[in-house]
Amino acid sequence: MFSGQLENRKWIVCFGNIADLLRTRQFDIYRKVPKDLTQPTYTGAIISVCCCLFILFLFLSELTGFIATEIVNELYVDDPDKDSGGKIEVNLNISLPNLHCELVGLDIQDEMGRHEVGHIDNSMKIPLNNGDGCRFEGHFSINKVPGNFHVSTHSATAQPQNPDMTHVIHKLSFGDKLQVHNVHGAFNALEGADKLSSNPLASHDYILKIVPTVYEDMSGKQRYSYQYTVANKEYVAYSHTGRIIPAIWFRYDLSPITVKYTERRQPLYRFITSICAIIGGTFTVAGILDSCIFTASEAWKKIQLGKMQ
């Protein structure tokens, strides 16, 4: 008798579980339609194929954007490179095809009282045109205050009668060199500046506005460089003795605004959200379109059969 009661309890528990499952099924929002109640159509097949191709295209586009890095830029007021000791590295490469190398010199001045004539550290002079011209290449530092540096004959032991300051600027850059394809800035704005056809005795003023620039890669490493805008003028300058002593001036001032470029990658949750939105939105729109076409087709068939009033 005891075994019979135990068997009855097992059946009661079993039926109770089945009842719970049946009640749970009431919460299913994804109700299934039996296959024998559905009707495939050629229009639906075409829309389904187009829908899948469209989803594949958008998925590949989102995947490409997720894998690739994007460059985000921002502006703020600060000195980004506080460890530089208040210095900016300068790279200058200029050719003067009609001035001898022994006459070419670099002078540096600024508002902190620096006045250096004939700077020679980390500089090189390369003769051009069988010694008639000169190519000056220099790497030097300037203070982070307004000032100027200029190429002239001021440091020469004897001043020439008619110094020819026609020139071509190959490079003028500040700070580290940035080789990033997605960043297009004015890091070497004077590259290719050609003044060979100008007045040989004219002085040239290049007025530079230097903008500090920071580039931060995915690893968090930062590189410091400087962009600059430039304006220029050409004029004939006379000394107090009445002689014409031309020079090539680079007058600079620093902007308080810093430009920062940061490498970023799209977060995974945003990628998943985009994919879900693509799939859901595409299928929803395709379903509406298919339903409209099917309804219109059925209505047209009824009209043809004369069954619609």
d(CA 141, CA 40): 77
Q: Tens of pLDDT along the chain (309 residues)?
A: 444 454 555 545 454 555 555 566 666 556 666 665 567 777 778 888 888 899 899 999 888 888 888 888 888 888 877 777 789 999 999 999 999 999 999 999 999 999 999 888 899 999 999 989 999 999 999 999 999 999 999 888 888 888 999 999 999 999 988 777 777 788 899 999 999 999 999 999 999 999 999 998 888 888 899 999 999 999 998 877 778 889 999 999 999 999 999 888 888 888 899 889 988 888 888 888 888 887 887 777 777 776 555
d(CA 86, CA 55): 55
Residues 6+ apart with CB under 8 A from 204: 165, 167, 195, 198, 232, 233, 234, 246, 247, 248, 249
Overall pTM surpassing 0.75 (yes/no): no
d(CA 39, CA 297): 13
CA angle 58, 59, 65 (to 5 degrees): 90
Residues 6+ apart with CB under 8 A from 214: 80, 81, 222, 223, 224, 225, 258, 259, 260, 261
Instruction: Give the pair of three-digit tokens for residue 74.
Output: 């921002």
3 state SS of 249? strand
d(CA 189, CA 254): 16
d(CA 231, CA 99): 25
d(CA 45, CA 53): 12
